[in-house]
Structure 1
Amino acid sequence: MPKFSWHTRAVPEGLPVRQVYGFLFVPDGRVLIRVDGRKHSLPGGRPEPGEVEYADILRRETLEEVTVDIDDPHYLGYQCVDDGISPYAQVRMAALITTAHPAAPDPDSGRTYRRLLVHPGKAGDLLSWGETGYLQATAAAEAAVTVLGLPGDGLPDEGYL
């Protein structure tokens, strides 16, 4: 069974980055959760050949999966996944959504994902990633206030984008 650990420093040299995911916020401070049936996840995915900039990967993936444009993403850290064979990193970033386009099918999967907006405090529960998920959601909520300048209190209830 893989082991997961959360780190707020840069990804170490030699540890491959296999995925980049984002906590994407709307101006009122809620975060977007991608919904596929009963599964909740963050928008993001794998780098394509030649892609090395985390921000570029996240921008492409969020447009493809949840049809939103984002501002400059802020690096939060990475989750190390140690499968006992070949450890790798999953980068996490936070960004402000600048434009929400009508929902459309993901060109890779053909699925149209729903976009749920929730209080950042609920993200850890919905993602069901255990302790590392809560640490990531907390880091994202802090960055939303301190880096993105979003409100931290008095957020509206959840709803769909």
Structure 2
Amino acid sequence: MARFRWFTHAVPEGLPVRQVYGFLFASDGRVLIRVDGAKHSLPGGRPELGESTYADILRRETLEEVTSEITDPHYLGYQCVDDGVSPYAQVRMVASLARVHPPAPDPDNGRTYRRLLVHPDDAGDLLNWGTSGHMQATAAAEAAITVLGLPHRGLPAPSYI
């Protein structure tokens, strides 16, 4: 069984980054959750050839998966996944939603994902990533306030966009 550990420092040299995901915040302080049937996740995915930064990966994946554009991407940390064979990193970032386009199929798999805006306190439960997920959601909520300057009180109810 794989072990997941959350770190807020840079990814150590030699630890491969296999995925980059983002906590994407609307201007009202809610975070976007990608919905695929009953599964909730963050927008993001694997690096592709020619992408040189985590921000580049997150921008592309956000546009492909949830047809949205982002600004101000900031590194939060990484989750180390130790599968017993070859550990790797899943980078987490925080960014502002700049523009949300109508839903469209993901070019990688043809699925159209629903997009749910939720209070950051609810993100950890919806993602169902255990303690590590709650730690990530907490770090993202703090960064939304301190780095992105977004509100944290009096947020609207969850809604699909």
- TM-score tier by shorter-chain length is over 0.9
Residue 106 of structure 2 aligns to a residue whose secondary structure is: coil
Residue 72 of structure 2 aligns to a residue whose secondary structure is: coil
Deviations 1:54-97 (A, max 9, x none): 00000000000000000020100000000111000000000000
Aligned residue in 1 for 2:13: 13
TM-score normalised by length of structure 1: 0.99
TM-score normalised by length of structure 2: 0.99
Aligned residue in 2 for 1:102: 102
Identity %: 77
Residue 124 of structure 2 aligns to a residue whose secondary structure is: helix
Aligned residue in 2 for 1:76: 76
Unaligned segments of structure 1, at least 5 residues: none
Aligned residue in 2 for 1:138: 138
Deviations 1:87-113 (A, max 9, x none): 000000000000000100000010000
Aligned residue in 2 for 1:120: 120
Matched letter for residue 123 of structure 2: A
Structure 1 segment 46-61 matched on structure 2, within 5 A: 46-61=46-61
Indicate yes or no: 2:144 matched with 1:129.
no
Unaligned segments of structure 2, at least 5 residues: none
Name which of structure 1's ranges 43-52 and 119-128 shifts more when overlaid on structure 2: 43-52
Residue 104 of structure 2 aligns to a residue whose secondary structure is: coil
Q: Determine the C-alpha separation between the residues in 2 that align with 1:124 and 1:78.
A: 16
- Structure 1 residue ranges, 4+ long, deviating more than 6 angstroms after superposition: none
Q: Determine the C-alpha separation between the residues in 2 that align with 1:46 and 1:7.
A: 19
Q: Determine the C-alpha separation between the residues in 2 that align with 1:52 and 1:140.
A: 23
Q: Determine the C-alpha separation between the residues in 2 that align with 1:75 and 1:48.
A: 18
- Deviation of the 1:50 alpha carbon: 2.5
- Deviation of the 1:125 alpha carbon: 0.3
Q: Give the number of equivalent residue pairs.
A: 161
- Deviation of the 1:52 alpha carbon: 2.8
Q: CA RMSD in A?
A: 0.5
- Deviation of the 1:147 alpha carbon: 0.2
Aligned residue in 2 for 1:41: 41
